[in-house]
A and B are shown apart, each in its own frame.
Chain A
Amino acid sequence: MVKKLIYLSLGIVFLAGCFRDQPSLHDQELSIRIFVKYEDQLLKDIPVTLNTNDYNLSAFKDTTNAEGMVVFQNIPFAEYSLHIQGKATIKSYLDSTSTDTIMVTASKILSPGNNESYQDTVYTIVSGTSPGIKINELYTCGPPNKIFYFYDQFFELYNSSEDTVYLDGMVFCRMGTWLESVTYIFQFPGEPLGGTQDYPVPPDSFVVIAQDAFNHKQEVFNGEKSIDLSNADFEFRNSLDYGDYDNPDVPNLENIEEGHTLDFMVGVTGDIILIADGSDLNYVDGIDAESVLDCVEYASSSTHEKDIEDIVDRGFAGVGLIKYSGQSLERISPGFDTNNSTVDFVIIDSPTPGYQHE
């Protein structure tokens, strides 16, 4: 009898071990406290936004108080992308009695643990510290179709600086995993670094580079879906690809990779795109980080493991991007760049070549 009781007790203990204890903490009890700084100064009245991909929740928004702190209380436990952008008033470095107003920006991924409070300090940078040519939009996933058509891909550049930038001799690359591995490299016409100045991009203007600059909407889809790229500013062209369409009215970015026979085609929902100033044309050992003007990594999967070095892009865009859906990736505002594509880009329902989505 005693043995039976022992066996029964062991059985109950074993069974109880198969199940979990009910958590004592409820969801919606998370509190996130963020201090926003620029260098050593706490910033007040700065808008802070939290977004999450874990649920279909709206963004949480608030503004820093006089102590440079913002507190989000009673929010769900989830991974959040924090985004900061706003005007900050800071003490002037030249005259300690006066103040300067600057635009600051920052982004960070917040991963709270199982504790109900999470605290962090986020250091902002001055927005537009490195203005210039930005990859503003990537349309890669193709229009809705059943023939695997994605040849209407295009990339949109934007000049976020206050000066005219010349595209002459710059290179546009599709990268492998690292900066050392170049998959495609195409070059704008002209000489880089001011050798020629034939292709100017005025401030606050867009440039569209098409894979093939023709009217995909009309000629392929008979007036439906897709887009008209016949008026693109540039077109990728590989003279070793004898079937590659060439619009005579549109200047070409020519392939400069020896033996490469394909047009500039990138992954529909995942890849790495880079634009560099053209000072490093020796693509065999990769692209020098110093020459990179902008780089965007994108992947549709939230569990994608980041590839390219943080120095050129600290995140990746495009989580949720759907193949052959007509969706596009665009910066949240023209030229907005925190060097983190995770927060810089949004998915838009249809491409906007040459203009910004609303």
Chain B
Amino acid sequence: MNRYNAQRKSRRNKTMKSLVRTGWILLVVLVMANTMQAYESELFSTVDFFRNQYINGYLQPNLYDMSQNPAFFEMAYPENLTIYKLSAQRQLNLYSRYFDPHQEDDIDLDLEWIKQLTTNSTLAAGVQYDRSFHNEVSHSLEKNYYDHYFAFTDTTTGDIEYQGPQLEVLYNHTLANQFLLGLEIDYGVERGLKDIYTECESIFRNIDLKAGLGYLSENNKTIIGVSTRYFNRQGKYEAVKEWEDALVRTWFGYHLYVPENPRRINRKDDNREGYQFGLQFERKEIFNSPLGIRMNGNYGIQKNKIKVGKPTYTRPRGYWERSGYDFTGSIYYISNGIYGQLFFNQCNYDDWASPKNYDVLALKKDEQVQRVGSLINIDVFDPFELDAGFEMRIIKTNYIEYTADFYYNEGRNEKFLLLGTAYNLNSISSIKLLGTQSIIEPDFHWTPTETFNIFGIQTGYVRQFIFGKLEANFNYQVSNPDNVKDKIEKFGFSVIYRK
């Protein structure tokens, strides 16, 4: 283990300077990126190849971030680390879909600790508190109406506030320097409350358990892993009456709804449960070259049961399942002053749903997402460096609502380009500037808009103090839909303390 650690530290020190600076990458995403996953446990959480390493101080993509196998955590984060982060974000949806909020404000406080307990065991813990304000939400009682096949709506427009804590604990242990064990538990609670009647209160409880095993070859160049995941989400909505009865609707897909019985309280239970299994492989320094390869594959399935009715008794309203697989692969190159990566991701999943009383297929969705891209960081000359990234997505969606006679079968493209630069002012402070551009073809929910042009800019300042590193970031992003005058604007800031 000591030999293994020594090798890693040596390699890390060589590239640390480059890696830390390269961490300016995609902070637009970073500020927005929170572990919201704990509130909405999904299958195959999207791997963002440009994010997250910065906040933890390591740019180099790793097998843990790719696979979420807790067995590989210590390999990715081998040092004690403390991170405090406060971020605030505002999004103005001057152009929006019918059920979207017109304004979203998010405030997040994130505390994370990584502690090496012994030479072969690591403990990580995190506490996060989020507060979100969704203002002028049109009818929807969901946090994101378009993520639900059985969404709950009422007849009013109001503001909804969401808040709640999330807890994360991860334990990682190494046996005989070669066998890696890991266990991760994420738990989150979120409460939402609408400010006007139906004053709908929503409460979500998520638990996400991950366990993993890994094998590390004697020469530390080959890694094999297997992981499993179980997640369970319990969601509850209660829309209450003021003077008139609560008049709510439960949607079946996006074109049909059931007017629920008017009553004093209308309740919806939305419970989700799922499993995921994964295999990982990594080979470093192929033929003693700076090249490496990394792969992760997952299979998963989840089910959702929706019940609606009185608080004392809810009846089945619908059922839907999602199953599919996800494969990610990357080839990377690490050399002095240059880091590069080519990546590929394919995610296929099938959804189907049936209504309450009949064993028939009400809707079906098959989606394939293919992603290819690259990321490169070059030390042009000290103290100046350049980052560039590119990603392209091809999305094929076949969505059918049999009951409403709605068919959507389209292919869409998304392109993303990133250019960034960092400049070390002196040995303890640096500044950064980052620009992004995306062209996105949205799905049918955004009809008649066919393309979004998205521009983002991020600037930041980092300073090293005796007590740690302090960092401030500001970001702005604008999304321009074609043929529409209005746009979507997003701006925010974050302050990060890291030690």
Contact = CB atoms under 8 A, between A and B. Distances in A.
A55 B252 contact: yes
A302 B261 contact: yes
A324 B321 contact: no
B243 A56 contact: no
Contacts of B131: none
Contact of A20 (B247, B258, B259, B319): B319
B314 to A, nearest CB: 11
A118 B141 CA distance: 37
A322 B361 CA distance: 32
A300 B360 contact: no
Contacts of A320: 259, 261-262
B360 A27 contact: yes
B119 to A, nearest CB: 30
B405 interface: yes
A322 B360 contact: no
A323 B243 contact: yes
B301 A19 contact: yes
Contacts of A56: 249, 256-259
B303 A19 contact: yes
Given A55-B257, A320-B259, A27 B362 contact: yes
Interface stretch (A101-109, A143-151, A174-182, A194-202): A143-151
Interface in B239-268: 241-245, 247, 249, 252, 256-259, 261-263
B244 A322 contact: yes
Interface in B254-308: 256-259, 261-263, 273, 275, 301, 303
Max chain B C-beta neighbours (<10 A), residue from A29, A55, A78: A55
A121 interface: no
Given A20-B319, A28-B405, A54-B258, A323 B245 contact: yes
Contacts of A2: none
B148 to A, nearest CB: 17
A55 to B, nearest CB: 5
Interface in B80-130: none
Given A27-B360, A27-B403, A15 B275 contact: yes
Contact of A23 (B244, B256, B301, B361): B361
A139 to B, nearest CB: 15
Nearest to A144: B244
Given A55-B252, A300-B261, A322-B262, A23 B243 contact: no
Nearest to A55: B256
A145 B242 CA distance: 10
Given A28-B405, A29-B360, A76-B403, A301 B261 contact: yes
Contact of B360 (A23, A144, A146, A269): A23
Contact of B258 (A26, A55, A269, A321): A55
A348 interface: no
B359 interface: yes
Contacts of B360: 23, 25-27, 29, 77, 114
B303 A323 contact: no
B258 A27 contact: no
Using C-beta atoms within 8 Å of the partner chain, give the interface range for chain B.
35 or more
A77 to B, nearest CB: 4
B262 A323 contact: yes
A336 to B, nearest CB: 24
Contacts of A25: 359-361
Contact of A325 (B244, B252, B259, B315): B244
Interface string A35-65: 0000000000000000001111100000000
Contacts of B242: 146
Interface residues of chain A: helix, strand, loop or mixed (majority): loop
Interface string B312-330: 0001000101000000000
A169 B275 CA distance: 71
Given A26-B361, A55-B403, A323-B243, A20 B321 contact: yes
Given A27-B360, A56-B259, A323 B352 contact: no
Nearest to A22: B352
A300 B361 contact: no
A302 B360 CA distance: 22
Given A56-B259, A303-B261, A303-B315, A27 B402 contact: yes
A18 interface: yes
Contacts of A53: 258-259
Given A25-B359, A114-B358, A114-B360, A300 B245 contact: yes
Given A269-B262, A323-B241, A22 B252 contact: no
Nearest to B264: A323
Interface in B354-379: 354-355, 357-362
Interface in A91-105: none
A28 B402 contact: yes
Nearest to B356: A54
Contacts of B257: 55-56
B434 to A, nearest CB: 44
Contacts of A266: none
Contacts of B252: 55
B244 A27 contact: no
A319 interface: yes
Contacts of B309: 303
A146 B243 CA distance: 6
Nearest to B275: A15
Contacts of B245: 269, 300, 322-323, 325
A325 B360 CA distance: 36
B263 A301 contact: yes
A206 B210 CA distance: 71
A77 B355 contact: yes
A306 B495 CA distance: 63
A20 B357 CA distance: 14
Nearest to A304: B261
Interface in A245-275: 269
A26 B354 contact: no
Interface string A313-346: 0000001111111000000000000000000000
Interface string A187-216: 000000000000000000000000000000
A76 B301 CA distance: 28
A6 B456 CA distance: 54
Interface of A: 15, 18-20, 22-29, 53-57, 76-79, 114, 144-146, 148, 269, 300-303, 319-325
**6 closest A-B pairs by CB:** A77-B358, A27-B402, A301-B261, A27-B403, A26-B402, A322-B262
Interface of B: 241-245, 247, 249, 252, 256-259, 261-263, 273, 275, 301, 303, 309, 315, 319, 321, 352, 354-355, 357-362, 402-403, 405
Given A19-B301, A300-B245, A319-B261, 15 more contacts: A18-B273, A20-B303, A20-B321, A23-B352, A25-B359, A25-B360, A26-B360, A55-B256, A76-B402, A76-B403, A77-B355, A77-B360, A144-B243, A303-B261, A303-B315
